[in-house]
Structure 1
Amino acid sequence: MIEFRPLPDDHPDLAHSPMLRGALLTLQYAQEHGSIGLTKTKAFKRVFVHWAVEHFEWPGKSAEEMFRYNKVINEYEFLPLEVLHFLLISLRLGRHYKGEFRLTKRGDELAHAPGRLFAEMIAYFILRIDHASYARFEERPFGKWDVWMNVINVEADHGTTEAALFQAFYGEPKDWHTAGWREMAAFSSCVLRPLGWAGLLMETREENAEKYVCHVFKTPLWSSALKLDTDNMLQPMALQ
């Protein structure tokens, strides 16, 4: 069972969520400017996309890095914003009207309410969205969120690796440098990445001449926001 605990708006661990931060900034921008312009295909116009790239502070997608190779960035080239746009419309926090993205009454209410917005958005994002659809990757990993999150709760409690988590679920050692890289990619894109975007997991990457290793850790927001069946299996970290 997965239960998301309600958190007050001033809870410090909410700062770990890139998706929440991006949503708040988008709602506040629309609130301040009255709307956000849309293209003919109903994507955010480039002026807002550029603003989002500069202000979201998205992990691994700094403005300097993104503008280094592309002076013009469209919504589909900043994938977190494309997914966030879909979420805000799906949750009816915003709507498209006469070529603009405008806040609904609910979106206007939550623009400055991080705890309530987290409760409204993050469980829906993790549990209800088809993550393979925006990963642009056909394969979907076998499994369900109740199992994935309860196992990760234990396995990543003191840190683990992407490859070790894959093996814990599927019993086979796969990695990006092995023939099983496609299975690893599906697992990473559809399970680990959504949890990272939600702010529940964080990753550090290590590369050398021989292989690439992705280390996975739970953020403080994981234990603050989640109540899981395996919580009683967690062991305190041993003091050195």
Structure 2
Amino acid sequence: MLPEINLQGDVDIAALSPLLRGMLLSVAYADGEGGIGLTATGAMNRKFVHWAAVHFLWPGFTAEDLYSMNKVLNESDMPPLWVVRDMARHLKLLRRKKDVLLPTRRGREFLVNPQAFFDLVATDYLYSYVHATEREEEVRARLRWWRMFLNLLNIKARKGCAPMDVVKILYPELAPLSDTEMTIEAWELKSDLQYGVFQRLCWLGLLYEAREGLTLLQDGSFHKTLLWAACLQLGSDTQSDIGVH
């Protein structure tokens, strides 16, 4: 059984969760601006993409980050926007009418009380959402490991850990290798963890990555946010360490 996500307590989810913040801002924009304009191909138009880049404050995808690589921004240049749009459509918060996306009645309810939607958004995104770079089979195969991943990170992310730290715990036979050897031997394992587990938890707002002073190619240290404890109750909550067999 997958660990249940059940938000409790008064937590500012918009401040802590990039995904919820992006969804809230998108629905609010559509409500206040007469809709989100769409291009002839159905993508969100550049006006909104620029606005989203400035206002979402999405770690790693701020306006500064995105414009350092692109002179103009299209929806395809901002991967978090794909997830925001998919989740808003999946939960029926936005509907398409000709060349705009408009808020639904449910979307306006979401604006009034986003906390009531968090458990559903978090569960669907964390366990079921298929990113553009993934296959559905990969997401399904990961389901049986989520309880172990969350319990492991529940302990290791108290003080901070990196994807390669988790690889060494899960595959102790790799631990004696040098950093260079680890990079070669465990690249695929690390990538699967980084994008399939760590990124999801960061985008949802349960983890954050400390990156101060690091280069683009260096991994940061991942730590739990207040949102983690507010929505997850795990068997490892009272443990000081965890063993993986």
Please tell me the TM-score bracket, short chain as reference: 0.7 to 0.9
Check if 1:169 corresponds to 2:135.
no
Distance in structure 1 (CA, Å) of the matches to 2:81 and 2:161: 29
Residues 151-178 of structure 1: per-residue CA shift (max 9 Å, x gap) = 2112222222221112223433487733
CA pair 234-5 structure 1, distance change in 2 beyond 3 A: farther
Alpha-carbon contact 2:13-2:21 (below 8 Å) kept: no
The share of aligned pairs that are identical, in percent, is 33
Alpha-carbon contact 2:88-2:94 (below 8 Å) kept: yes
Residues 175-212 of structure 1: per-residue CA shift (max 9 Å, x gap) = 7733322221121011110000001011123647xx83
Alpha-carbon contact 1:14-1:115 (below 8 Å) kept: no
Displacement after TM superposition at 1:26 (Å): 0.5
CA pair 3-160 structure 1, distance change in 2 beyond 3 A: same
Selected match of 1:192 from 189, 193, 198: 198
CA pair 90-170 structure 1, distance change in 2 beyond 3 A: farther
2:133 paired residue number:
135
Provide the secondary structure at the position in 1 that maps to 2:185: coil
Selected match of 2:237 from 217, 221, 231: 231
Distance in structure 1 (CA, Å) of the matches to 2:132 and 2:106: 26
Distance in structure 2 (CA, Å) of the matches to 1:129 and 1:98: 27
2:19 paired residue number:
19
Provide the secondary structure at the position in 2 that maps to 1:178: helix
Provide the secondary structure at the position in 1 that maps to 2:68: helix
1:183 paired residue number:
189
2:208 paired residue number:
202
CA pair 35-60 structure 1, distance change in 2 beyond 3 A: same
Distance in structure 2 (CA, Å) of the matches to 1:207 and 1:139: 34
1:238 paired residue number:
none
Alpha-carbon contact 2:75-2:82 (below 8 Å) kept: yes
Distance in structure 2 (CA, Å) of the matches to 1:30 and 1:218: 32
Check if 1:158 corresponds to 2:156.
no
2:228 paired residue number:
222
Distance in structure 2 (CA, Å) of the matches to 1:167 and 1:110: 41
RMSD: 2.7
Distance in structure 1 (CA, Å) of the matches to 2:13 and 2:112: 16
Q: Which amino acid aligns with 2:210?
A: T
CA pair 158-138 structure 1, distance change in 2 beyond 3 A: same
The answer to which structure has the higher strand fraction is: 1
Distance in structure 1 (CA, Å) of the matches to 2:138 and 2:168: 16
Select between 166-175 and 197-206 the one with higher mean Cα deviation: 166-175
Q: Normalization by structure 2: what TM-score?
A: 0.83
Distance in structure 2 (CA, Å) of the matches to 1:234 and 1:224: 19
Residues 73-115 of structure 1: per-residue CA shift (max 9 Å, x gap) = 1111100011110111111111222122111211111113231
Provide the secondary structure at the position in 1 that maps to 2:192: helix
Q: Which amino acid aligns with 1:6?
A: L
Q: Which runs of 5+ in 1 are unaligned?
A: 236-240
Alpha-carbon contact 2:7-2:232 (below 8 Å) kept: no
Distance in structure 1 (CA, Å) of the matches to 2:12 and 2:240: 23
Deviating above 6 A after TM superposition, structure 1's stretches of 4 or more consecutive aligned residues are: none
Displacement after TM superposition at 1:136 (Å): 5.8
Alpha-carbon contact 1:7-1:116 (below 8 Å) kept: no
Residues 16-65 of structure 1: per-residue CA shift (max 9 Å, x gap) = 11111111101110111221111233221111001000100111222123
